[in-house]
Amino acid sequence: MATLISHSPAETEALGERFGRVAQSGWVLGLSGDLGAGKTQFVKGLARSLGIGARVHSPTFSLINVYEGGRLTLYHIDLYRLENIDQILAAGLEEYLQPAGVTAIEWAEKWFAMPQPGEALSPRVPVFGEAALPRRVQFEALSPTERRITYDDPGA
């Protein structure tokens, strides 16, 4: 696990860009943190470095946005409006745990048990078969402009 302090949305996006430069098909990123903590900013940087030119915004009401046209397809999921694992499973989102591209899941703690730093993620229910568990990216607001971001280092 690595930790950095972001001092601006641009720095948070830059971390997303670092992930995107080394991303491989099949990656799943579990993003967690409060509203406004930087999850969508991170995904914007991820999309940019994948070569996706579309405007990236949080899919709060649609649950998922799919961005194609880059080096890899980006599946951007937002679980904010879902209350529990039953609703997540009913939404049929399991296919995105084995993406032909990269999946970024905001509010991943609703789907996965989010451990303390240094501990492995685990699914809340054993329905995922051989799907890889996501890399963890935790966002914590320290001030109006500063964020502590703790993440699994993907080699970036």
Average confidence score pLDDT of the chain: 86
Q: Let me know: does 85 contact 125? Beta carbons within 8 Å.
A: yes
Whether 125 has a pLDDT exceeding 70, the answer reads no
Matching residue, tokens 């280092």: 153
Q: Could you give the domains of the chain?
A: 2-151 (3.40.50.300)
pLDDT of residue 154: 58
pLDDT confidence tier of residue 111, bands split at 50, 70 and 90: confident
pLDDT in tens, 17-60: 999 999 999 999 999 999 999 999 999 999 999 999 999 999 98
Alpha helix (H) residue ranges in 50-155: 85-90
Residue 153 above 80 pLDDT? no
User: CA distances (Å), 33 to each of 3, 54, 105, 106, 139, in order?
Assistant: 14, 24, 11, 8, 5
CB atoms within 10 A of CB 127: 11
When comparing pLDDT for 104 and 83, which is higher? 104
Binned at pLDDT 50, 70 and 90, residue 129 comes out as very low
Using pLDDT thresholds of 50, 70 and 90, give the confidence band for residue 94. Answer: confident
- The answer on pLDDT for 149 being more than 90 is yes
User: Residues, the chain, total?
Assistant: 156
Determine the Cα–Cα distance for residues 137 and 45; give it in Å rounded to an integer. Answer: 14
**pTM for the model:** 0.86
